[in-house]
Amino acid sequence: MKLQHIAAAVALAVTGTANAAIQDFTNGNGSLFLVAYDNANGSFTQTASLFDLGFNLNDIAGVAGNGTTGAQGGLVDVAAGPKTVVWNFNSNTVTVNGTVQSIGTNAWSANFAKLVANSDAGQIKWTVGAGDSSGFGDGNRYLITGQPTAAQLTSQNASNTNGLSVTNSLFGATVVNKGTLSTADNGAWTFAAAVDGAATATNGYVIDSAIFGTNWRTRNLLGNAIVLDGASQNLWLADASGAEKRVGQLPVGQTAAGFLNNSTTLVFNSAAGTLTMSTAAAIPEPSTYAMALVGLALAGVVARRRRA
């Protein structure tokens, strides 16, 4: 385990990365967001929410991660030890391994309550994402959820991945000034037709077919990309070259109980009011143990010489 990785992980866990406002893909380091909406199988068919989760693409993917190298950002670095991040939308808190993070003003609770009140029980679907549309080649990259088959991996080609960039309109003027997105570091907006009127892009309905539906749901072909409340998801990092790789995946041959595909796992639970992201710790290779023992031996020699 590299010391600089440990230091970076500790620093991130303590300080967080507060956003002044939700950030779109054009700044090269878009906000990590949660979209949740009623699944339209009951009374409520036009209810949807957008939550700014207080972290950014680089916190997950690192500055240079792409669809070939994978993601080793501070929140999901398997070499830095296990990590569990919990967003609690009722209490407006974020914890990392049980420690509350200071990442700015979180103002989610009212909009979360509105989402639940205007959705059918067990019918909320959700996804998490972030993006960078300012790069080129592998630098143009997106975090998307999914559980793809081999065929679906082939379908997530460069054209579909680049098409995700049009979702920038999700963060446009029709949404960014809604709810608490413009008044808090990490805000939220819920549209509910039952109380807000007709579902249109103008009034900020974030699952409008011209915004999220066409340019995110239909461009993410990784299979089961948007799942029901309570289901587990993996995050994937896809880039403009058409490559994609799971986020926070353990080395080949290593497994961890309770983790989907031995990778960073997300679960949204509307009853508890939480989104949980868990990353397992990689087991160091034998050579790493050997180096650690050598280091301890050298430290012992130096200590003995100082006492002498």
Read off the pLDDT of residues 274-283 as tens digits, 9 standing for 90 and up.
999 999 999 9
pLDDT tens digits, one per residue of 99-138:
999 999 999 999 999 999 999 988 999 999 999 998 766 7
3-state DSSP assignment of residue 295: helix
Sequence-distant (6+) residues with CB within 8 A of 92 are: 106, 107, 108, 109
Residues 248, 264: contact at Cβ < 8 Å? yes
Sequence-distant (6+) residues with CB within 8 A of 66 are: 138, 139, 141, 237, 239, 241, 243, 245
Of 139 and 245, the one with more pLDDT: 245
Nearest to 27 by CA among 130, 133, 103: 133
pLDDT tens digits, one per residue of 3-32:
333 333 444 443 445 556 889 999 899 999
In angstroms, the Cα distances linking 129 to 4, 164, 290 are 27, 10, 39
- 272: pLDDT strictly greater than 70: yes
Structural tokens at position 13: 């866990």
- 72: pLDDT strictly greater than 90: no
Residue % of the chain over a pLDDT of 90: 65
Mean pLDDT of 182-204: 91
- Phi and psi for 142 in degrees, rounded to 5? -145, 140
Residues 128, 222: contact at Cβ < 8 Å? no
Q: Quick one: pLDDT at residue 31?
A: 95
pLDDT tens digits, one per residue of 222-243:
998 999 999 999 999 999 999 9
- 293: pLDDT strictly greater than 90: no
Q: Quick one: pLDDT at residue 136?
A: 67
